[in-house]
Amino acid sequence: HTHHFLSPTSSSVLPLSLESLSVNHVFALALLVCSAIVVKLLVMRRRGIRSMEAFPGPPAHWLIGHVKEFRQDGHDLEKIMKWSGQYPFAFPLWFGPSLSILNIHHPSYVKTLLTTTEPKDDYAYKFFIPWLGDGLLVSTGQKWFRHRRLLTPGFHYDVLKPYVKLVSDSTKVMLDKWEVYGKSGESFELFKHVSLMTLDSIMKCAFSCNSNCQTDSGTNPYIQAVYDLCHLVNVRFRVFPYHSKAIFHLSPHGYKFRKAARIAHNHTAEVIRKRKEVLKIEEEQGIVKNKRYLDFLDILLSARDEHQQGLSDEDIRAEVDTFMFEGHDTTASGISWIFYNLACNPEHQEKCREEILQVLDGKDTVDWEDLNKIPYTTMCIKESLRLCPPVPGISRKLTKPLTFFDGRTVPEGRPIFQFVPHTKQTSLFDPLRFLPENVAERSPHAFVPFSAGPRNCIGQNFAMNEMKVAVALTLKKYRLIKDPQHIPKMIPQVVLRSLNGIHIKIKPVENDL
């Protein structure tokens, strides 16, 4: 019997040895694959470190880099400010073993980067493409150049002029809704109100749509979709495995992204569909366009290049998606932070109010001519944009090596991120920094809220006008008061938001004498 159990042909022994052999094989294979991946990551890491040799920066984990440092808890920007103080000019941040982005924060470095025609960095911006298509924000090369040229007439001051009244109307709807807070004196969250106002404005101005989005009840689905999309683009950038299309697609975040993108696309598709219908009826009935002015959508649909070629349907949708988002979310951020900063600085708020009341002289609407007559208010707007930039950074990818004024060079293929920080010494709200004589002493690249160079913001005049109108009418009607119970926690999520909202209290101006 003993012999039988020891026999190599024993049927009970053979499967066991095969099983252990296959387990060992699988284990050895898995070990080999893991080792190969680790070796590859280490090689990529070493190559990355070599390319950033000239730029010391904060210590990073070999695999996940600085990802864990950014907790999205309202302190991320402080961390970047701190590092900006420790590493003058620039420092690298790592988002995985091999993806390092050089953060630049000195005017001379910013100038070197922004005066080039380098394309947008495809790491950060490619995650926008499923949502915004190949529109002006993300397109590159000849396509970007052609679109920029075709769309520039849409931002001529003759086109922008009639928008001032439309923005005034939208602002007044918002301020009427605020009467309840003016009476009760209770604190309320600004960003959602201002987002609806700027969406209402871009719909009226650029697309001649009276959306009633400010007075409709419930959460606006498009605004919620934009909020979700910004959050998910941010998550995708920070979670290294999500850089893979397949992994992101299969994840719950990927599902949520597609759902939100569908809502955003349906919103813009409906705007285009309605306009095409109107144009078709006008054409059939031979109606001459009797609208007072051309809007952005007219210009998009009728734009022709030197070969008489217009924009394709896909191009039009991408630009409408881009401008619908860029035209309301960035200005909503800008206006909300301006209101917050004015609430925190009542003496500057009072100076703005005096100037505004004098210029408006009893009118309840801002006119185009008034916009250049409020210099102190304009300086306060710029100071808020400096402290709380609605777009906290921009990035480029190098197609050739770039050498800075101090001789340090970044090799081609590397992404560079230009962050818009301020140091502790400059964290005080001081609009006098923008007096002409003070501006003249600084590099023009020390303050670039709308970027600079060939790819600067095409809509910056529209944005500045909208901010001026909103601030003027708001300060005419209400005194903005800081709420010490709710201090906002800044968080960059494509645009600068607050983790816990932006809260203020208000008091009607005529009741507080």
> 480 has which bridge partners?
506
Alpha-carbon distance of 297 to 313, in angstroms, equals 12
**pLDDT reported for residue 512:** 47
pLDDT at 288: 64
Q: What is the reported pLDDT for 5?
A: 41
Residue 276 CA to chain centroid, in angstroms?
30
Q: Which residues of the chain have pLDDT under 70?
A: 1-21, 287-293, 421-425, 511-513
Rounded to 10 degrees, what is the CA torsion of 152, 156, 162, 168? 80
C-alpha distance from residue 253 to each of 96, 228, 239, 272 (Å): 19, 10, 11, 29
Task: Collapse the DSSP code of 283 into the 3-class scheme (helix H, G, I; strand E, B; otherwise coil) and give the result.
Answer: helix
Per-residue pLDDT at 114: 93
**What pLDDT is attached to residue 8?**
44
SS3 state of residue 349? helix
Q: How far apart are CA 254 and CA 321, in angstroms?
A: 19
Q: Find all residues with CB under 8 Å of 35, minimum gap 6, and list them.
A: none
- Are the C-beta atoms of residues 120 and 451 closer than 8 Å to each other? no
| Cα separation, 390 vs 326, whole angstroms | 11
Q: How far apart are CA 303 and CA 309, in angstroms?
A: 8
Q: Is 108 within 8 Å of 443 (Cβ atoms)?
A: yes
Burial class of residue 118, CB neighbours in 10 A (0-12, 13-18, 19+) = buried
pTM of the model: 0.90
For 56-83, the pLDDT digits (tens) are 999 998 888 898 898 889 889 889 989 9
Q: Which two tokens stand for residue 502?
A: 């932006």
The answer on whether 213 is annotated among ligand-binding residues is no
Q: pLDDT tens for residues 458-472?
A: 999 999 999 999 999
CA distance 394 to 448: 10
**What pLDDT score was predicted for residue 217?**
83
DSSP, collapsed to helix, strand or coil, labels residue 294 as coil
Helix boundaries (H) for 152-288? 157-160, 163-177, 179-184, 190-207, 221-238, 245-250, 252-284
Q: In this predicted structure, what is the pLDDT of residue 18?
A: 53
Q: How far apart are CA 170 and CA 194, in angstroms?
A: 10
CA quadruple 48, 50, 56, 62: dihedral, nearest 10: 50
